[in-house]
Amino acid sequence: TAQRELADFLTAADRAVAFTGAGLSTECGIPDFRSPGGLWSRNKPIAFGDFRAHPAARNEAWRRKFVMDASFAGAQPGRGHRALANLLAQGRLSGIITQNIDGLHQASGVPDMDLVELHGNGTYATCLDCRRRYELGWVKTRFEAAGGIAPDCEACGGPIKSATISFGQAMPEREMARAAALTDTCDLFIVLGSSLVVYPAAGFPLMARRNGARLVIVNRQPTDFDEMADLVVRDDIGDVLEPFL
């Protein structure tokens, strides 16, 4: 079976890396972006340039975020998160690179030092100009008191944005470097629940493959990278990782 093959790959590997996308969290009730009914089928993403330039875009971005956060407030790590946390604790994985901003890897017990959050973190906000940190509760209180207008930075008047990476926004340098270091030194790279269409994130499986690592793709849909993979498991992540729980 595919599970058996994946287990054999893990046993044979000295340094395995997991690379996760929104598909890891669908079993936790958080929709992904590109499946039917996914987030981008409901709303067009708000690009970074628009967020920065237009107060109306900021108001809309914050409105959406508060709706999203309220509906996923109780989300718990799923089987995939828990299996990966186990594998890491057993020393069978050397790190996790995620595109997710939902905090569920941390919630499953993965230490920060073993986790690279390529697209940032949705649990706090910062001023785009002076980098001052703001808590979401502070932003929400002001947003609501002002009737749906996003507050600006108290220190410098700059725009306050959730600490996630939007389209058109620069990638976090330190996280990119950490992901590159993990990818460069791994001999097994396991993609779980990513459509692999967003760059530069989708460049990491390619980099791993070029460096001679084995590539595994776990996704219930085909991806453009399937033909270069050593193993493709076209199934639900939770079912596939069940034996590692």
Residues forming contacts to ligand OAD in the complex (CB under 6 A) are 21-23, 26-27, 32-35, 38, 99, 119, 165-167, 193-195, 198, 219-221, 236-237
> Are the C-beta atoms of 191 and 129 separated by less than 8 Å?
no
Q: What is the token pair recorded at 88?
A: 């890491």
Identify the sign of the CA torsion 95, 100, 106, 109.
Answer: negative
Identify the sign of the CA torsion 185, 17, 167, 144.
Answer: negative
- Residue 156 partner contact from Zn ion, ligand OAD, none using kind-dependent CB cut-offs of 5 to 8 Å: Zn ion
Cβ 68 to Zn ion, closest distance in Å?
A: 24
In the block, residue with structure tokens 């785009």: 128
81 part of the active site: no
Cβ 48 to ligand OAD, closest distance in Å?
A: 9
Q: Map the footprint of Zn ion across residues 117-136, applying CB under 5 A.
A: 127, 129-130, 132
The distance from CA 117 to its chain's CA centroid, rounded to whole angstroms, is 6
Please report, to the nearest 10 degrees, the dihedral formed by the alpha carbons of residues 39, 45, 48, 54 taken in order.
Answer: -120
- Residue 220 partner contact from Zn ion, ligand OAD, none using kind-dependent CB cut-offs of 5 to 8 Å: ligand OAD
Q: Catalytic pick from 54, 81, 105, 119?
A: 119
| CB nearer to ligand OAD: pick between 44 and 212 | 44
**Which residues are at the interface with Zn ion (CB under 5 A)?**
127, 129-130, 132, 153, 155-156, 158
